[in-house]
Structures are given as C-alpha cells and as structure tokens.
Amino acid sequence: DQTELTRAGRHGAVDLPNLDALWMPFTANRDFKAAPRMLVSAQGMHYRSHDGREILDGVAGLWCVNAGHGREEIVEAIARQAREMDYAPPFQMGHPVQFEAADLLAKIAPGDLTKIFFTNSGSESVDTALKIALAYHRARGEGTRTMFIGRERGYHGVGFGGISVGGMVANRKVFRGGMLPNVDHLPHTYSAEHQAFSRGQPEWGAHLADDLERLVQLHDASNIAAVIVEPMAGSTGVLVPPKGYLDKLRAICSKYGILLIFDEVISGYGRLGTPFAAQRFKVTPDIMTTAKAVNNAAVPLGAVFVREGIYDAVVNGAPSGAVEFFHGYTYSGHPLAMAAAVAAQNIYARDGLLTRVAREGLDAYWEEAMHGLRDAPHVKDIRNLGLVAGIELHSRPEAAGKRAFETFLKCYELGVLVRYTGDTIALSPPLIIKRGQIDQIADTLRRALSSVQ
C-alpha cells in the first residue's frame, strides 16, 4: 500500500499556484497561505501532497470517501454520464439515473424511510428536512407546528436553518441576525465526569433526553414541528450517544406527534458498521439527512430520506396537478452526482462495505488501537464508535484548540491526515482500511503527541 499512488502513476512534487485570490472555507487563510498544505492526487487509502509525500487518509477526506479514493467504477460512471448527458432540468422533467439512484438508496433505508429527495450537500439536506417537516404539519392541518428543537454541540451545516438548530457557538454568533426564530435546544450529551474513556456508548446520560419533556411543556407540543439531532455528533468532537438516549427521544417525539430528524451526514453509509446509525441504534427517525459518502463524495450530493407517510401526507394532500412541495435545487439529482451514487452504492453492496466495520471486527480493533493512546501525552479523553474516534487533548491555558492543531500539523508531516475540531483530534478513515493502517494511524498519533508542547 505504501506504493498505492506510485502504482497509479501519481507521484512527484508539483509547483504551487498563486494563492491570493481564493477565500478558503473554515480555514485560517493567512496562516495557510504562509505555509500551504496541498493535496494533489489520491488513490485508495492515500493522498499525495504537493511536496510529493504519500499521506495516509485518516479522515476519509472529510468523513466522506468511505470506499477509498479513485474508485475506477465511479470515475468511469461519471465520465460515461458526462458524455451521454451532462445536465437535465430536475423540475417537471426526469432522467433515468436519478430514479435508479433513489431506488438503490430506498433499499438500504431504515424502516419505511423510502422516499428520497436529492440535494447537493449536508447543509442543503438539513434545510430540506426542516422544510419537509413544516410542509407535513401544514398538510395535516397542524400549521401551528413551526418550532424546531436542536441540541447544544450539534452541527448541521452552515445554512441559516442548520446554524439555527445547530449548537456550535462559533458558527452562530456573528450571524445571529439571520437565524430562524422559534428554535430551542436540548442539552448536549457529553460529561467528562461521567463518560471519560468510555468505550463505545457511555452508560451515563440517557436521562438527558428527558429535557425534551420539559421543552414540550414549555412550548406546547402543538407548536413544535421537529427535533433534529446527529445520532452521533461528529464535528463537535465525536460525542457518542449514551445508551438508551435516542430511544427516549424517539418515544417522547412519538408521544407528542413531533417529527424526529436524524442528521446522518457523517454517521451514514457504513461508518458505524450498519448502513445508517438508525439501524445500529435500532431507533428509526421520521426524516434522515445524508450527504458525503452517499456517492463516495466524487461529486457534491446530498439525499434526504423520508417516511412514506410524510411523503403521502404532503404529496397526496395537495390538489392533483399542483406542485406539492415548493422546494428543489437546479442541481437536485444532477446526472453526474447520480451516476456516481449508483456506482458507489453498487461498490458498497458488492463489497459489503456498509457492514464491514462490524462484520470483520474492525470496530473492536479500532477501539483497542485508539484507547491504547490513553497514556500518550496530553490525552484527556478518548471516544469511539464504529470507525470513528475522538481524542480530546488538555487545552493549553489561553490557547484552546492550539495543541490539537499542532498535532494535526505534526501528523501531516509524519504522513497521516487527521482532523481537529476544538481540542479534539477526529478520525474516520475510509472503510477499506487494513489493520496495519490502523496501527500506523495510532503510532503516528503517539509520535505526534509526544512531540507537541
């Protein structure tokens, strides 16, 4: 595997382009431009950096390249589709591959979430899910249900809907003026005191879901449209749901006719050893937002899964001939994204990738490797589930996040791409990873942690 990229004929250093014009997203632009880190090619488990080094991908790009990079079937499918038909309008017109893609997704859906709405990103999937919730209640004559309940330390993308229901302070404070009204938040589910170094799901914390009862009493069920949570919070530091927590949320939502939305943009498509977290936790939401690995991230794509009864209420409730749901994107079901989705889903099915992590005991191996870092310098907590881990570091006084950033830089220098969010190193490698590569990630992290101050 060390020669994966070399075999693919992708090697050597490349010259850097002019860096001035681009405003980079979620990046310290000045620091980056002073010391750029560029990825120039990718194959299997590896990237190649602009200075010609092979980098093991410990994050699957950004939690999204679940089948590994450069899958030939996906490349071929995109190229074939681009030649055949580059684009088709999605409103009042169809094209076959979008129906084929939806059909494949419906087959792996939890419960009866078998109606699929295509978007282009996780953020758009979240906005779409919130709008479907409003449309559903309105169609059933419960138009007063307009309120959303999110959760602290939730990340739901960067649209105004997503940052309103989300709970990441940095993503909200500058934009308060444009946020949705009528939003409240559940408390987050993490407690260092009760959960530190839990393996998998913590025992402590199911009772935190009872706060939903309090919010229902406060706002009245007749005003609440939906609750939205990530079944496992990813971008806010890998917060694993306590045992029984999601079941409780489900029960309270059902009791009051409130829709439960799972944001599975990260947890979907095999990350936790089942197709979706819903199946892993045996809790079925009413709407599920996905994106990222839906098509192995080769072309931007998101997919919202909706229960049949919700589709029926909105679609069958409208007069015949009328557009039932005033929502959609120019690129909903874009032919290239759809071709990539069909190819990716076929790979997932053929190679059993959506269940590999559990079936092959990779999650247990991963858990051992990650918790083996417990005695490494600076480690404050380690959290894991499926093929995800969060390694939280002690903050340096007055320098929150700095040590995690330095660890990320050091890992990159040592040939492994990790991610950091706040004081936590987040890991989520492609699902094709070998055990030896898990060891490499753990060894590299140990070396990096030993070298940072």
Return the number of the residue (139 or 344) whose C-beta is nearest ligand PLP: 344
Among the listed residues 155, 262, 269, 366, the single contact to ligand PLP using CB under 6 A: 155
Footprint of ligand PLP on 132-151 (CB under 6 A): none
Binding of ligand PLP by 121 (CB under 6 A): yes
Q: H or E segment at 256? A: helix 245-256
- In the complex, minimum distance from the CB of residue 123 to ligand PLP, in angstroms, rounded to a whole number: 3
Hey, what amino acid is at 83?
R
Residue 166 in contact with residue 154, Cβ under 8 Å? yes
Q: Is 205 left (phi over 0), alpha (psi -120 to 50) or beta?
A: left
Say how far apart CA 58 and CA 186 lie, in whole Å: 31
The residues, any chain, with a CB within 8 Å of residue 240's CB and separated by 6 or more, are 198, 200, 201, 202, 232, 383, 384, 385
Binding of ligand PLP by 126 (CB under 6 A): yes
Report strand pairing: 183-186 vs 388-393.
unpaired
Binding of ligand PLP by 122 (CB under 6 A): yes
87 CB neighbour count, 10 Å cutoff: 12
Among the listed residues 156, 248, 356, 410, the single contact to ligand PLP using CB under 6 A: 156
Number of shown-chain residues binding ligand PLP (CB under 6 A) = 14
Hey, what amino acid is at 46?
H
Return the number of the residue (410 or 419) whose C-beta is nearest ligand PLP: 419
- In the complex, minimum distance from the CB of residue 122 to ligand PLP, in angstroms, rounded to a whole number: 2
Binding of ligand PLP by 68 (CB under 6 A): no
- In the complex, minimum distance from the CB of residue 124 to ligand PLP, in angstroms, rounded to a whole number: 7
- In the complex, minimum distance from the CB of residue 88 to ligand PLP, in angstroms, rounded to a whole number: 23
Return the number of the residue (155 or 305) whose C-beta is nearest ligand PLP: 155
Binding of ligand PLP by 157 (CB under 6 A): yes
Return the number of the residue (158 or 382) whose C-beta is nearest ligand PLP: 158
- In the complex, minimum distance from the CB of residue 266 to ligand PLP, in angstroms, rounded to a whole number: 4
- Residue showing the smallest CB distance to ligand PLP in the complex: 122
Binding of ligand PLP by 291 (CB under 6 A): yes
**Sheet of 302-306: strands edge to edge?**
115-119, 302-306, 287-290, 259-263, 224-229, 147-151, 183-186
Return the number of the residue (180 or 196) whose C-beta is nearest ligand PLP: 180
Length of the chain: 453
The residues, any chain, with a CB within 8 Å of residue 208's CB and separated by 6 or more, are 186, 187, 189, 242, 245
Say how far apart CA 210 and CA 228 lie, in whole Å: 15
Q: H or E segment at 383? A: strand 379-385
Residue 418 in contact with residue 62, Cβ under 8 Å? no
Contact characters 253-282, ligand PLP, x per CB under 6 A? ----------x-xx----------------
- In the complex, minimum distance from the CB of residue 62 to ligand PLP, in angstroms, rounded to a whole number: 7
Per-residue DSSP letter, 346: H
Strand partners, 302: 119
Contact characters 227-246, ligand PLP, x per CB under 6 A? ---x---xx-----------
Among the listed residues 123, 345, 424, 440, the single contact to ligand PLP using CB under 6 A: 123
Binding site for ligand PLP (CB under 6 A): 121-123, 126, 155-157, 230, 234-235, 263, 265-266, 291
